[in-house]
């Protein structure tokens, strides 16, 4: 699949402090790439560098295989974006803002503005001035503005901030629709992990300016998401059995009486049998699903105890 | 470029400022006419040149301040409200965007000074015989003769009107943009007089020329740097 955003060894320092450090990432055509990371991880800075609002200290960014230089601008007609809080010309109405946007981008399709407003549920308020809009409405209008020119890439920095649960659901469905029906590539950042989990194809986990992991959601699900949680009375003994008798290496100790096994090759009954044969009391055993949130927190905290 | 100028015009409702322009012209005219009439027998202005020297001072001060309002609206506000971030994600050369904005400020200052001078001249031509603003009657040739200097002065003031960009951009502040414009306007136009002769900084030709150059350099630098600066 074609890579539309290619980032290599990208670094950025502000006044000597490195906020983005040697990031490599690849966003494929038609996928939703979820950017996860705590506040200040460098998500916005990377997005700004893609849009050429911030210039990299080193490294390179290629969009559709074209290298971005400090004065590049033509590629921007393929990108729709919301960076941080969506800003508008407050004295103008919603419709005037979108009209102005279309003229600047050089796209004017009849009915596109109305269509975009309808998609985000803002039809009927197009003649309202922006200073009368609530944060949620501005966020929706920001999304309408990003999609009105039908870009090939959407860069959305925390687009669901300030939205109500219905708004969040609407946006989730909209993004899926844009991806599936229009083949739009979407780079989205959020600190709400469950939201990214439900729509992303690939996720990039960023912490302290470093990309800790770039992984397909599919692989996360396959690799780590399913585990066997066993409650036992003697932890040390159980570990000995698991390691020596069954050869299990991928496990996590939750507490003195609980252990999680991430290996799928060995069946539940086999583990069960072996523990019982070695006189370990099993108080409970069940298959569980790890959510992206735990995976994310494990990575961020460096507390990944999977041996 | 024309498209960019048009969009800036539309976005900032520049047309609305023409009302302000007209009020300023009327205000300046009213002020000098009242001064001329209020002095009674001992007239303040002896002739047309006398009359216009004060009028020109007022025009220059008023329009450098007015231009700084436009400058803060067009440039400073965009940075302050972060809409510049949006503006720079358009597939347009950033240098061109900045050039359009600065040209609009420069053009506004230049043309408003020309228009104001022209309109006040016409008004004086017709009003003087009726109201006796000054003793020596004014000849049309006398007025025509001031045209070149009006253009040169307007150009210089238009250059000067970009100096507040430097002060405004430091803190992205509208207040400092306008305050600096007021100060610059007064400093270079303030007149010292002993009754017979008067002097102002604007009369020393080097001062307005170097201020104008300074303004143009400040404008050029922000144009030149726009591709290199991070928008955080």
- Give bridge partners of residue B193 from the DSSP assignment: B198
DSSP class per residue in chain A: --EEEEEEEEEEEETTEEEEEEEEEEEETT-EEEEE--TTSSHHHHHHHHTTSS--SEEEEEETTEE--TT--GGGGGEEEE-SSPP--TTSBHHHHHHHHHHHHT---TTHHHHHHHHTT-TT-TTSBGGG--HHHHHHHHHHHHHHT--SEEEEESTTTT--HHHHHHHHHHHHHHHHHH--EEEEEES-HHHHHHH-SEEEEEETTEEEEEEEHHHHIIIIIEEEEEEES-HHHHHHIIIIIS----EEEEETTEEEE---SS-HHHHHHHHHHTTPPEEEEEEEE--HHHHHHHHHHT-----
| A73:B91 CB<8 A | yes
Interface with A, mutate which of B6, B91, B93, B100 (most A CBs under 10 A): B91
Distance CA(B157)–CA(B113), nearest Å, equals 9
Distance CA(B209)–CA(B188), nearest Å, equals 11
B156 Cβ neighbours under 8 A, 6+ residues apart: B208, B209, B211, B212
pLDDT at B107: 93
Question: Where residue B194 falls among pLDDT bands split at 50, 70, 90?
Answer: low
How do the pLDDT tens digits run along chain A, 307 residues long?
Answer: 788 999 999 999 988 888 888 989 999 998 999 988 888 888 899 999 999 999 999 999 999 989 999 888 889 988 999 988 888 998 889 999 999 999 888 887 888 888 888 888 888 888 889 998 888 888 889 989 998 888 999 999 988 877 888 888 888 888 888 888 888 999 999 877 888 888 888 989 888 888 888 888 888 777 656 788 889 888 888 888 888 888 888 888 888 889 888 887 788 888 888 888 888 888 888 887 777 777 777 777 764 434 3
pLDDT at A304: 40
Torsion angles phi and psi, residue A262, rounded to 5:
-105, 5
Per residue in B114-158, pLDDT (tens digit) is: 999 999 998 888 888 887 777 777 788 888 888 898 999 999 999
> Does residue B198 register a pLDDT over 70?
no
pLDDT at B127: 83
Per residue in A136-189, pLDDT (tens digit) is: 888 889 989 998 888 999 999 988 877 888 888 888 888 888 888 888 999 999
In the DSSP assignment, the letter for residue B197 is -
In the DSSP assignment, the letter for residue B217 is H
pLDDT at A278: 87
Residue A90: list chain B partners with CB under 8 A: 81
Distance CA(A162)–CA(A257), nearest Å, equals 41
| B85:A73 CB<8 A | no
Q: How large is the angle between the packed helices B48-71 and B94-131, nearest 10 degrees? A: 150
pLDDT at B192: 66
Distance CA(A290)–CA(A250), nearest Å, equals 14
Chain A within 8 Å of B81 (Cβ-Cβ)?
yes
pLDDT at A305: 39
Distance CA(A158)–CA(A160), nearest Å, equals 6
In the DSSP assignment, the letter for residue B42 is S
Torsion angles phi and psi, residue A288, rounded to 5:
-135, 165
Per residue in B74-128, pLDDT (tens digit) is: 999 999 988 898 899 999 999 999 999 999 999 999 999 999 999 999 888 888 8
Distance CA(B67)–CA(B65), nearest Å, equals 5
pLDDT at B105: 92
| B91:A106 CB<8 A | yes
pLDDT at A174: 86
Residue B228: list chain A partners with CB under 8 A: 55, 70
Question: Where residue B197 falls among pLDDT bands split at 50, 70, 90?
Answer: low
pLDDT at A303: 41
> Does residue B208 register a pLDDT over 50?
yes
| A70:B90 CB<8 A | no
pLDDT at B7: 85
Q: So what's the ipTM on this one?
A: 0.81
CA-closest candidate to residue A131, choices A143, A141, A146, A120: A141
Distance CA(A202)–CA(A298), nearest Å, equals 18
**How many Å lie between the alpha carbon of B101 and the closest alpha carbon of chain A?**
14
Distance CA(B11)–CA(B109), nearest Å, equals 19
Mean pLDDT value across residues B22-26: 92
CA-closest candidate to residue A196, choices A44, A83, A32, A43: A32
Distance CA(A53)–CA(A79), nearest Å, equals 13
- Give bridge partners of residue A12 from the DSSP assignment: A20
pLDDT at A306: 40
Question: Where residue B193 falls among pLDDT bands split at 50, 70, 90?
Answer: low
Q: Which residue has the tokens 């039809």?
A: A123
**Which chain A residue lies closest to B230 (C-alpha atoms)?**
A54
pLDDT at A165: 85
Q: Which residue has the higher pLDDT, A252 or B69?
A: B69
């Amino acid at each position: 699949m074609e890579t539309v955003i290619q980032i290599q060894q990208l670094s950025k320092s502000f006044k000597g402090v490195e906020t983005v450090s040697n990031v490599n990432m690849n966003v494929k055509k038609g996928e939703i790439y979820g950017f996860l990371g705590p506040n200040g991880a460098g998500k916005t800075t990377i997005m700004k560098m893609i849009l050429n609002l911030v210039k990299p200290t080193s490294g390179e960014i290629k969009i559709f295989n074209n290298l971005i230089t400090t004065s590049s601008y033509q590629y921007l007609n393929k990108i729709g974006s919301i960076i941080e809080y969506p800003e508008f010309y407050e004295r103008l109405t919603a419709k005037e803002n979108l009209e102005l946007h279309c003229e600047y981008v050089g796209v004017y399709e009849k009915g596109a503005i109305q269509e975009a407003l309808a998609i985000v549920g803002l039809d009927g308020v197009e003649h309202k001035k922006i200073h009368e809009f609530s944060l949620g409405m501005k966020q929706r209008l920001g999304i309408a503005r990003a999609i009105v020119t039908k870009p090939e890439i959407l860069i959305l920095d925390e687009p669901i901030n300030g939205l109500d649960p219905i708004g969040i659901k609407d946006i989730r469905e909209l993004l899926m629709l844009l991806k599936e029906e229009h083949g739009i590539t979407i780079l989205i950042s959020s600190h709400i992990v469950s939201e990214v989990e439900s729509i992303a194809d690939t996720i990039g986990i960023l912490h302290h300016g470093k990309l800790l992991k770039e992984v397909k959601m599919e692989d996360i699900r396959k690799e780590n998401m399913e585990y066997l949680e066993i409650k036992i009375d003697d932890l040390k003994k159980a570990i000995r059995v698991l390691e020596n008798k069954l050869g299990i290496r991928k496990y996590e100790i939750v507490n003195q009486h609980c252990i999680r096994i991430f290996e799928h090759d060995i069946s539940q009954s086999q583990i069960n049998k072996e523990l019982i044969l070695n006189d370990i009391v099993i108080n409970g055993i069940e298959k569980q699903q790890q959510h992206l949130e735990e995976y994310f927190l494990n990575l961020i905290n460096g507390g990944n105890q999977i041996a | 470029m024309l498209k960019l100028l048009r969009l800036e015009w539309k976005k900032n409702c520049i047309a609305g400022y023409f009302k302000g322009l007209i009020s300023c012209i009327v205000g300046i005219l009213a002020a000098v006419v009242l001064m001329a009439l209020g002095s009674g027998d001992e007239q303040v202005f002896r002739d047309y040149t006398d009359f216009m020297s004060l009028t020109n001072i007022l025009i220059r001060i008023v329009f450098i301040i007015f231009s700084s309002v436009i400058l803060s609206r067009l440039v400073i506000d965009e940075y302050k409200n972060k809409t510049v971030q949006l503006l720079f994600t358009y597939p347009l050369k950033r240098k061109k965007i900045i050039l359009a904005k600065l040209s609009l400020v420069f053009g506004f200052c230049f043309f408003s000074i020309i228009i104001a001078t022209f309109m006040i001249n016409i008004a004086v031509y017709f009003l003087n015989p009726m109201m006796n603003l000054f003793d020596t009657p004014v000849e049309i040739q006398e007025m025509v003769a001031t045209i070149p200097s009006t253009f040169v002065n307007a150009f210089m003031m238009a250059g000067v009107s970009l100096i507040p960009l430097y002060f405004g951009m430091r803190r992205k502040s509208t207040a400092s943009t306008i305050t600096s414009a007021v100060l610059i306007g007064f400093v270079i136009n303030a007149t010292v007089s002993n009754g017979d002769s008067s002097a102002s900084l604007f009369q020393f030709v080097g001062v307005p020329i170097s201020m104008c150059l300074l303004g143009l350099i400040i404008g050029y630098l922000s144009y030149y740097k726009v591709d290199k600066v991070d928008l955080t």
